[in-house]
Amino acid sequence: MPARHEDPPVSLLQCASLKGRGLLSLDDLTDDELLALLDLAAELKQRKRVGIRGNLLHRKHIAMIFEKTSTRTRCAAAVAAADEGGRTEYLSARDIHLGKKESVADTARVLGRMFDGIFFRGYSQQRVAWLAEYSGRPVWNGLTDESHPTQALADLLTVRERFGAFKGVKVVYVGDGRNNVANSLMAGCAKVGMDFVDCTPPSLAPPRDLVAAAERVAAANGGSVAISHDPALAVRGANVVYTDVWASMGEESKMEERIALLKPYRVDMALMNATGNAANGALVFLHCLPAFHDRNTDLTKDIGAMEVTDDVFESKMSLVFDQAENRMHTIKALFVAAL
Ligand code: CP
Ligand code: NVA
């Protein structure tokens, strides 16, 4: 029998342990909870495709505190909530007193009295943890300097859609190896048992304790984690080549030095070919976006591509817009599971 609008998604049952919980980093989730969330996201995506809009977030209010700019994360959260009858309130750093005239703890306690959950994007991981502690509501991390867990959920969903499974899939991240996206991707790949390589200059390698923790998780799940400084070697056998900007939000002053350091780590077609999988269909390119590829921004028009060239970005191997769409389905899964 086809699903009726009022039927809850069947995979919501597997997410019972996530009720009332937010997401500060992927470490908050057990491996099984992560997989259950991906199942729920896939089911919500399918429901939207066939025109089912539910009321799973009916009368739920979500505060969206954004200290940094955003296209995908902000829109994904707003549409996700609205699709299920909820609503979001966007609060940029300029709009509220947070951390200026009012402590994080006080703002959190006020918002906790009014909203059902808080979605936060900013600099400090401590700040998102404080919001969770003091608001008493589920708080979701929509990117800090340290981590970007909702991005990793979309990345994993995109990989699973393409390859059907995680085991045996090799993911190579090439670029700024210690940024928020790289950290969360490493943790996510470890949890689902993929083989992950972070290919980056020694000075941009992720913290040792983070790598050691991911190595342990990956080994327990039949996967692996490695650090490399040699792009052509690292990508051999890769199924996913992933990159991100060379200077993250808040690091704009480091742009010149990063361009010099990371030029050998640019993803171009020669690097994609070095995987050995470019011709056989077993290779995709991912990028969290926004991306600096040839000609697309004011910044790159004078210097050409930064982290990825147009021929890769625009190729059939590039799933970056599926990945962007999946931000919405995975964030919706988080909201629905919690609220
Ligand atoms: N990938 C991502 O987080 O994009 P935005 O910065 O546009 O939200
Ligand atoms: N590492 C990037 C990700 C943007 C989505 C940044 O923090 O700017």
Tens of pLDDT along the chain (339 residues) come to 555 566 889 999 999 999 999 999 999 999 999 999 999 999 999 999 999 988 999 999 999 999 999 999 999 999 999 999 999 999 999 999 998 899 999 999 999 999 999 999 999 999 999 999 999 999 999 999 999 999 999 999 999 999 999 999 999 999 999 999 999 999 999 999 999 999 999 999 999 999 999 999 999 999 999 999 999 999 999 999 999 999 999 999 999 999 999 999 999 999 999 999 999 999 999 999 999 988 666 665 666 789 999 999 999 999 999 999 999 999 999 999 999
CA-nearest of 73, 281, 40 to 162 is 281
Strand partners, 141: 120
| d(CA 119, ligand 1 centre) in Å | 13
Q: Which residue has the least CA distance to atom 1 on ligand 2? A: 248
pTM score: 0.97
Give the full edge-to-edge strand order of the sheet including 224-228.
Answer: 224-228, 195-199, 170-174, 240-243, 284-287
Identify the pLDDT of residue 69: 97
Closest ligand 2 atom to Cα of 248: 8
For 103-117, the pLDDT digits (tens) are 999 999 999 999 999
Shared fold status for 10-147+326-338 and 151-324: yes
Q: Which residue has the least CA distance to atom 4 on ligand 1? A: 72
- Mapped onto helix, strand or coil, the DSSP state of residue 120 is strand
Identify the pLDDT of residue 7: 83
- 151-324 CATH choice from 3.40.50.1370, 3.40.50.2000, 3.20.20.150, 3.40.50.300: 3.40.50.1370
Catalytic residue, chosen from 21, 47, 74, 121, is 121
Identify the pLDDT of residue 28: 98
* 148 catalytic per annotation: yes
Identify the pLDDT of residue 302: 63
Identify the pLDDT of residue 307: 96
Q: Catalogue the E-assigned strands of the chain.
A: 61-66, 87-92, 117-121, 139-141, 170-174, 195-199, 224-228, 240-243, 284-287
Closest ligand 1 atom to Cα of 148: 3
Query: What is the residue extent of each domain of the chain?
Result: 10-147+326-338, 151-324
Q: Please give the CATH topology (third level) of the domain spanning 10-147+326-338.
A: Rossmann fold (3.40.50)
Spell out which residues line ligand 1, taking CB within 6 angstroms: 70-73, 143, 151, 288-290
Strands 117-121 and 61-66, how do they pair? Answer: parallel
- Mapped onto helix, strand or coil, the DSSP state of residue 119 is strand
* 288 catalytic per annotation: yes
* 72 catalytic per annotation: no
Q: Which residue has the least CA distance to atom 1 on ligand 1? A: 288
